[in-house]
């Protein structure tokens, strides 16, 4: 697989990464642990070198899974993980909700190193901006970890442009992880121009719209009560019915290219900027291979114009998150 550098940094990874959250968090039913280990190792064999996890996924168990699966490939792959939530030692949520205090950051780094079975965390993201901790203090704490050799690169997730600038002035930000896809294009307004100016890479999560852009669901699809999509307005039956127009657009272009709707959605993202590295998640080998196939699809200027013109006429229905979660983004 082709490789890309995240922004102006020396951090080079496969053009497509693998989001590992769904292997044991948010999207039930979960596969057996060994099946997930096999999938992670299959991804490496197929050229994926960038893997995404977080302390809060589980909590803790996703990092442990990724650490065990990728230990044989230490030095050959890059693992990104995240800090920023108030989590007790037993995995229960603490009263603060968010906690990016320097003491907490240092504690999370030490614990994540052990769970991931690595000597240094390749990319350490602030999962969500903590309004109670100055971003300069957060960046400063990560800077110290980088100086100590425990972290290689600093990242942020769902941060606003002004916050990114303030953090970047203290410790250069290598990558921003935020939702970005054909059905969530808000980052184009302010975030992407800011990243381009500062030389920061973009790692889109949910690049397939939490599965919707694959074309494998419709208004009749049901979700387990523990599935995060069951609480998202954009996944209400009415919204899904309205939003199928976007899937139809992708499907039409995919048919002409002998590809799938998911591959076109990912190829579109890859075509936006050379420093964008999407991290689609999956628990199935055939989906992994399908996603990887997107890296070989080069959309022409005509293809991109066709998508742009058609997408401009489609209004995506429903908020992307419930209000309490949306309030944590864009700070």
pLDDT digits (tens, 9 = 90+) for 87-137: 999 999 999 999 999 999 999 999 999 999 999 999 999 999 999 999 999
Q: Is 108 helix (H, G, I), strand (E, B) or coil?
A: helix
Is it the case that residue 215 has pLDDT exceeding 90?
Answer: yes
Is it the case that residue 326 has pLDDT exceeding 90?
Answer: yes
Question: Rounded to whole angstroms, how far apart are CA atoms 20 and 11?
Answer: 20
Is it the case that residue 4 has pLDDT exceeding 90?
Answer: yes
Question: Residue 180 catalytic?
Answer: no
Q: What average pLDDT does this structure show over 228-257?
A: 94
Question: Rounded to whole angstroms, how far apart are CA atoms 17 and 52?
Answer: 7
Q: Which domains does the chain have, with CATH numbers?
A: 3-208+273-297 (3.20.20.100)
**What pLDDT is attached to residue 170?**
98
Q: Catalytic: which of 57, 180, 205, 321? A: 57
Is it the case that residue 27 has pLDDT exceeding 90?
Answer: no
| Beta-strand pair 3-5/12-14 | antiparallel
Is it the case that residue 226 has pLDDT exceeding 90?
Answer: no
- Taking residue 227's Cβ as centre, other Cβ atoms within 10 Å add up to 17
Residue 28 pLDDT level (bands cut at 50, 70, 90): confident
């Amino acid at each position: 697989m082709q490789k890309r550098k995240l922004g102006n940094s020396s951090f080079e990874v496969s053009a497509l990464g693998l989001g590992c959250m769904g292997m044991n968090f948010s999207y039930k039913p979960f596969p057996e642990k060994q099946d997930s280990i096999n999938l992670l190792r299959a991804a490496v064999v197929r050229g994926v070198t960038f893997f995404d996890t977080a302390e809060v996924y589980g909590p803790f168990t996703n990092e442990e899974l990724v650490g065990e699966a990728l230990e044989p490939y230490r030095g050959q792959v890059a693992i990104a993980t995240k800090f920023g939530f108030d989590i007790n030692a037993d995995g229960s949520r603490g009263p603060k909700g968010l906690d990016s205090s320097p003491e907490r950051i240092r504690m999370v780094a030490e614990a994540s190193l052990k769970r991931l079975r690595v000597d240094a965390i390749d990319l350490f993201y602030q999962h969500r901006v903590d309004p109670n901790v100055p971003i300069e203090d957060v960046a400063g704490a990560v800077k110290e970890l980088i100086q100590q050799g425990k972290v290689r690169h600093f990242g942020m997730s769902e941060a606003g442009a002004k916050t990114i600038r303030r953090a970047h002035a203290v410790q250069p930000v290598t990558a921003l992880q935020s939702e970005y896809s054909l059905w969530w294009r808000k980052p184009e307004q302010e975030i992407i121009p800011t990243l381009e100016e500062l030389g920061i890479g973009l790692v889109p999560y949910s690049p397939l719209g939490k599965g919707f852009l694959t074309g494998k669901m419709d208004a009749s699809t049901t979700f387990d009560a523990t599935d995060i999509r069951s609480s998202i307005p954009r996944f209400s039956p009415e919204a899904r019915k309205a939003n199928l127009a976007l899937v139809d657009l992708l499907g039409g272009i995919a048919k002409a290219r002998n590809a799938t709707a998911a591959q076109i959605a990912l190829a579109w993202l890859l075509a936006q900027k050379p420093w964008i590295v999407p991290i689609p998640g999956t628990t199935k080998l055939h989906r992994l291979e399908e996603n990887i196939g997107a890296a070989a699809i080069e959309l022409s200027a005509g293809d991109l114009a066709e998508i742009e013109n058609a997408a401009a006429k489609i209004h995506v229905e429903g908020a992307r998150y419930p209000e309490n979660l949306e309030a944590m983004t864009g700070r």
